[in-house]
Amino acid sequence: MSDVLFTSSATAHGGREGKVESSDGVVSFETAMPGTPRAKELENGTNPEQLFAAGYAACFDGALNLVAKKERIRLDTETTANVSLLKDPSDGGFKIAVKLQVKGSGTDQEKLEELVQKAHQVCPYSKATRGNVDVELEVL
């Protein structure tokens, strides 16, 4: 790896029916598969898809604002990442898919759509998923 700016780390114990915690303790959640008895018992339980959605939404919204700033456009944005767990017919396992829903004010719809496409090219999460995960962009 070249020119590492910073590294974040989190550790999981027990997978989908356990706990995940960041090395600094800021993130600390019990995990549970939605619809399971454990999920019903845990008021603040989460799952890997929810955690991925939070990271992708924050990262993409940041990329969108960076792209807009470079073009001297002031935007007020909101990005929602909907991360779905799907059956994978190719191997009988599972995979994820993402639908990013982006709202923005401060420019017209056409320009916002252009900025969203540009953000998708520079967002680290978009780069990481490209070619591996179906990502749909929706500009609202």
Using DSSP's 3-state secondary structure scheme, residue 113 falls into: helix
The confidence score (pLDDT) of residue 1 equals 66
Task: Give the Cβ contact number of residue 121 at 10 Å.
Answer: 11
- pLDDT tens for 17-66 read 999 999 999 999 999 999 999 999 998 899 999 999 999 999 999 999 99
Which two structure tokens, joined as six digits, stand for 47? 């799952």
pTM: 0.93
The confidence score (pLDDT) of residue 79 equals 98
- pLDDT tens for 86-119 read 999 999 999 999 999 999 999 999 999 999 999 9
Closest CA to 54 of 29, 36, 91, 76: 29
How close are the terminal C-alpha atoms of the chain, in Å?
37
